[in-house]
Amino acid sequence: MSDEEITYATVRFHKSSSELENGGRSDETHGPREAGHRIFQYKQEKHEQKKILNNLYQEYNTMKNNNSLNEQMWRNKTIEYDALKDRLDSLNREWNRCYGETKIVLDCMQRAGKRVEGHWFCCGIKCYYFIEDEKRWSRCKQTCQSCSLSLLKIENKDELVP
């Protein structure tokens, strides 16, 4: 062998900060794939946001329609209430008119010297004369006999309410 000396060396390169962040790989070999992945994530997120926005829009329209329906129902109920109130007022006026027409004073006298005052009410073809004094049954019977009337006990609930 010769007198020449041979030296062996091992060369090592330190990783740069960008290589450390990317797990030891450079941006040149990994960049396009990661950018594509981010684009996919953004598209997916955009799609989810559109779905949420669409759902909110549908809920808004449903609530708006429900509100419109409630307002319409309120108007209808108000109209119905007004019509029923007018009908009730009309019936009350008619009842008062009939009540006034049916009020009569019988020509017979009670024992105390007062005239017997009552009202006629009809239910179907049956008509009844009501004396509005509060008396026991026996006193009512005496009043009817003195006025030549029959005492009748009404048991039909429909006939009790004029």
Percent of the chain at pLDDT > 70 equals 57
pLDDT digits (tens, 9 = 90+) for 40-87: 899 999 999 999 999 999 999 999 999 999 999 999 999 999 999 999
This prediction has a pTM of: 0.37
Q: Measuring CA to CA, which residue among 89, 97, 143, 98 is closest to residue 123?
A: 98
Strands 115-123 and 126-131, by their bridges, are: antiparallel
Residue 55 to residue 79: CA distance in whole angstroms: 36
Residue 75 to residue 50: CA distance in whole angstroms: 37
Amino acid at 45: E
pLDDT digits (tens, 9 = 90+) for 84-112: 999 999 988 887 776 655 555 555 655 55
